[in-house]
Amino acid sequence: MSSDSFLKEMQTIGEKFLLKLQKLPKADPVEIVSFCVVLLFIVTVLVLMIIACSCCCYSCCSCDGRPDHRRRKIRVRPDAH
């Protein structure tokens, strides 16, 4: 997908979203609730992605941005018989 077609697709989605927001005050309660549920789902997925990325970044980097190699050098030795 080229960048032009991607931008057009994003613009189309944005226009549909704005149109839906404009029609929302006149909509019936079921449509309002379903729109809120879909919106809540999208926000939840985005928040979970941010949390996952921050946890992944935190696990391989310390607070100052340098990797913490001390945790990776722990080796398991076999038991002696």
Instruction: For 36, list phi and psi in degrees, rounded to 5.
Output: -65, -35
Q: Is residue 77 part of a domain?
A: no
Q: Is residue 47 part of a domain?
A: yes
Q: Is residue 78 part of a domain?
A: no
Q: Is residue 54 part of a domain?
A: yes
Structural domains counted in the chain: 1
49-66 pLDDT, tens digit per residue, is 998 888 777 666 655 555
Indicate the pLDDT class of residue 68, thresholds 50, 70 and 90. low
Q: Is residue 74 part of a domain?
A: no
Contact 62, 68 (CB under 8 A): yes
Q: pTM for the complete prediction? A: 0.54
- Give the range of the structural domain holding residue 26, as residue numbers without chain letter: 2-62
Tokens at 32, concatenated:
């309002």
Q: Is the pLDDT at 45 greater than 90, yes or no?
A: yes
Q: Is residue 31 part of a domain?
A: yes
Contact 67, 61 (CB under 8 A): yes
Q: Is residue 21 part of a domain?
A: yes
* Highest mean pLDDT: which range of 34-38, 53-57, 58-62, 73-77: 34-38
Q: Rounded to 10 degrees, what is the CA torsion of 53, 54, 56, 61?
A: 140
